[in-house]
Chain A
Amino acid sequence: MASQKDRAQVEEVTDEVSGKVHLSPCQIACPLGEDIQRSHAMIALLPLDPKETASQIIKIGDEIYDKNPLFPICSYICGLCEKQCNYKDQTGAVRRKMLVRLITKHYLPYLEAKPPLPSPTGERVAVIGGGPGGLMCAYTLSKKGYRVAILERSQELGGALRYIPRYRLSKDIVDATLNNLIRIANIEVKLGAKIGDGGKTLDDLQHEGYRVIFIATGTLSPRPLTIEGKLVKEAELEGVIFGLNLLYEVNCGTVPLYLYKGKKVIVVGGGNVAFDVARTARRLGGDVFLVCLECEDKSSKDGIPADIEEIEGATEEGIRIIYSRGVEEIIGEDGKFKKIKCPRCTSVFDEDGRFNPKFNYGDVIYLEGNVLLVTIGQAPELAFFREEGLLNERGRIDIDQLTLMSNRKGGVFIGGDVRRVGFAAEAMRDGVIAAESIDCYLKGADMKAEREKEYESAAIPKVTNYKPQPKIIWAPVEERLNFEPFEEAFTLEEVIEEARRCLYCGPCKSCKACVALELQPEIPKIEFNKYLCITCGNCVFYCPYSAAKLDSSGVVDFDLASCKACGLCVAMCPAMALDLGNGERERISTLLPKLSAEMEPPKILVFRCQWAVFPPSGGELLPNIRFIDVPCVARVDNFHILEAFRQGIDGVLIAACPGEDCHWVRGSRGAQHSIANLSKQLSQIGFQDRLYFCSVTPRHPEELDRELEQFGQKINAIGSKEG
């Protein structure tokens, strides 16, 4: 028998026919493959006791950390999962970032004392660049036992993370996360390392004993303004700056607090970084305008790429956005920036989706200002790659896109922004991919085997009413024009509520939170007896996940990728042809006489949903009350209720989640319907009022206590059948 921990390990669910891996869309979207559904379920089932809650949160954090040691940072800057959430098109994505922020809050203090990984003893690997990509590569390799050194040219780790304004991501979080990562993963760090450009070459590094090198040097060169493919001349004017440089300097603390007070600042660019620059300039006291090629309508092909939250936030802060304008000319006066000439941009992307802006030069405005901050993207610094012969004929970095190994030099791997500018998490994924390739390379294994995976995104379960997305509260504008974070954190209660909003779209086997929490020993598999099946189709109708299927011969098939083993079909099968694989029916059948024997009249048996009554209230068991915990009341079989009465139980209470709150979507409502029918029949034989269905608010065990008390009084009043 596998240990509980092994049984709780997530498994990949692969479609037998298509070979695709089934997963929730958020998890497919997460470049680090965080077990999002699992952590949401675990958050939803956090205990009531604050001490236990704290330790459970650390456990959840540990699990996320294993895959993504930078998660505290991601919880402030990422959110790629939210962009793909099935809930997005209903009432808004589940706010994972806010959930993980709560984990972060508890986890960071613990991180300081988190024990390090075993000291690696394997081969030495050099990672050039200490940004998200390099760090993830180093961490993954270190976990595999390699001795890794990060060579970072600047005086601190973090790479592009150090450009993110502090009001979005505080320095404390970056420092704590990175410093502890280095310590925990036993990574050697060489700051101020000079590689290329007269410094060490890759050969030098290989001679020093690094057989393999991962290059993740990021994109250091801001793109200059161009029009019609030609550079816009700026003639070294004072006041024309790359926005990126401003962000870096502000974070280094080398700029005065009110640098732009009384100044008019023009930011060029429409991406999130441009908004970082604009909002930073605003916080430095500037009167800020943002000019971008793109139009206001985000749904258009030429829509502004920045996130809507950034646009709303910037607008609130008084930044004025001038859409659909390019920069044709930068005009100076006495060597200082004076104004820009802005023709109307009529189209940004051409028919083929390529960046190819078109302008109407007859429609021109001039914008005057004291400072021009250019933030229209970054490009990698390729000189080093050229020196090392890592570029192809077209001047691009020549690598295998699957393994990230250079096609020009064995043992050299390249990834992160330098390969393709993207989100931090995407650079981190490159680090993980490179680390896995490096592991294969050093072991002489096939680097490409089983690397390419196709995913099938789980559909949204059909829910009667979708719960509204909670709002994130921002500090009022007058209080937030500084570099303090301004998003109000969710409380523990809000976080749990939001985690419960998650629809857990993905397959159970790739989650297994309930197994990890020991709610059930394993994810059961529906067992189907074709000799009993009468092909009535009840299972097909009741299944909330469209997992049960009838084919032309009438045989029932269960799509294990979508079946969540809620048990509703089992309870509803009129032929009793279905059962839960772990002998659930038999287990409860044998439990009933045992419980009844140890109870005192009036005997009350409670079937309680573990999601509704979580955590169950502690305290001593009353002699006349016993509980049977089920993952969903959908699993409560009429057969067992009647069997309980046969065994001398005087009253049966079913405690379920409120219908709209059912973890298994339809379980609670389905059970309610079937219990109502059974109640009616019971009342015809003199058992009225002895079967009672109630819904209780999760995390409010006192509600069940109250229901139980009232039910107990009623049963007392009608008396014990045995008495």
Chain B
Amino acid sequence: MIVTTQKPLDEVLDFISPYTNILIAGCDGCTQPPRGLREAKTLSQLLELGGKLRNKTFVFKTTTVAKQCDNCLAASILKPQIDGVEAVLSLACGIGVQTLAEIFPELPVFPTQNTHFMGAEEREAAILEVRCDGCGDCLLAVTGGICPVARCSKGLLNGACGGSKEGKCELDPERDCAWNLIYERLKKVGKLELLKEFRPPRDYQLSGWRVTT
């Protein structure tokens, strides 16, 4: 899931203050927490209230798209609703915002979210944590299903640094040491010998900027 957090509302209000008719587009895709129809409606209500205090009246339309990053899908849902709209607010991650900007080249498209990382939610604790960096060279098969690229602060490929302390990272004592997790996990599955294999430095080109389907 792509983890996002809501931008401060006054920042969003600043974006839209020159306009009146605004479309708020939720995204039901992979934003986490989900930024669907409810978020779109809630945001419209909040911005309307905020506008009132600034003596500004907005007219909002709210809708949601199954996946905003899919330009065909987004266009087919949003284009029929765009008449009279002066600006678009996207609840999607940065990808969705850019897709909408492509679909509506004439219109200002604003983000309402700050996009953080590809991660997962620990629901009980209401915490979202990074899981994948999109390196293009997946190591999970040999690291016990725990990614050192994304989860080790230093992105080390060959075991823990000297700063691993009681299972925590020296850079942030709240953060689990990824290599400690990998060690414990490999021990559990009886594959500690995997740690003996040396991994050469990462090829950053593999991450790439374009692939063909």
Residues on A lying within 8 angstroms of B by beta carbon are 532, 534, 536, 538, 541, 573-576, 638-639, 642-643, 645-646, 673, 678, 681-682, 684-687, 721
Contacts and interface: CB of A to CB of B under 8 A. Distances in A.
Contacts of B37: 532, 574-576
Nearest to A673: B126
A689 to B, nearest CB: 14
A502 to B, nearest CB: 26
Contacts of B81: none
Nearest to B1: A536
A685 B126 contact: no
Q: Which 4 A-B residue pairs are closest in the complex by CB-CB distance?
A: A685-B50, A642-B45, A574-B34, A534-B28
Interface string B148-191: 00000000000000000000000000000000000000000000
A686 B42 contact: no
Contacts of A687: 49-50, 53
A576 B41 contact: yes
A643 B48 CA distance: 10
B6 interface: yes
Most chain B CB atoms below 10 A, which of A532, A573, A673, A685:
A685
A574 B50 contact: no
A684 B38 contact: no
A574 B46 contact: no
B38 A685 contact: no
A685 B34 contact: no
B6 A681 contact: yes
A646 B33 CA distance: 25
A684 B8 contact: yes
B38 A575 contact: yes
Nearest to B66: A534
Interface string B90-131: 000000000000000000000000000000000100100000
Nearest to A640: B45
Contact of A575 (B36, B123, B126): B36
A534 B66 CA distance: 8
B41 A685 contact: no
Nearest to A573: B38
Nearest to B50: A685
Given A541-B123, A639-B38, A686-B50, A575 B13 contact: no
Contacts of B10: 684-685
Given A541-B123, A575-B34, A686-B53, A646 B48 contact: yes
Interface residues on B, range: 20 to 34
B41 A575 contact: no
Q: Is the interface of B mostly helix, strand, loop or mixed?
A: helix
A685 B45 contact: no
Nearest to B29: A534
Given A673-B126, A686-B53, A575 B45 contact: no
A339 to B, nearest CB: 66
Nearest to A542: B123
Given A575-B28, A642-B45, A682-B46, 19 more contacts: A534-B36, A534-B66, A575-B34, A575-B36, A575-B64, A576-B38, A638-B38, A639-B38, A642-B49, A673-B126, A681-B9, A681-B46, A684-B10, A684-B50, A685-B46, A685-B50, A687-B49, A721-B52, A721-B53
Nearest to A642: B45
Nearest to B53: A686
Interface of B: 6, 8-10, 13, 28, 33-39, 41-42, 45-50, 52-53, 64, 66, 123, 126
Contacts of A684: 8-10, 50
A574 B49 contact: no
Contacts of B123: 541
A646 B45 contact: yes
19 contacts: A532-B37, A534-B28, A541-B123, A575-B34, A575-B38, A576-B36, A639-B38, A642-B42, A642-B46, A643-B45, A646-B45, A646-B49, A682-B49, A684-B10, A684-B50, A685-B13, A685-B46, A686-B50, A721-B53
Contacts of A532: 37
Nearest to A637: B38
Contacts of A642: 42, 45-46, 49
Contact of A639 (B41, B53, B64, B126): B41
Contact of B33 (A574, A681, A685): A574
A538 B9 CA distance: 25
Contacts of B41: 576, 639
Nearest to A571: B38
Contact of A536 (B6, B34, B46, B52): B34
A682 B48 CA distance: 11
Contacts of B66: 534
Contacts of A721: 52-53
Name the residue in A573, A643, A686 with the highest tally of chain B Cβ atoms < 10 Å from its Cβ: A686
A638 B42 contact: yes
Nearest to A680: B6
A686 B54 CA distance: 10
A394 B10 CA distance: 89
A576 B41 CA distance: 10
Contact of A685 (B39, B49, B64): B49
Contacts of B38: 573-576, 638-639
B55 to A, nearest CB: 12
A576 B35 CA distance: 11
B189 to A, nearest CB: 27
A119 B46 CA distance: 67
A429 to B, nearest CB: 43
A490 B117 CA distance: 58
A536 B46 CA distance: 24
B53 A538 contact: no
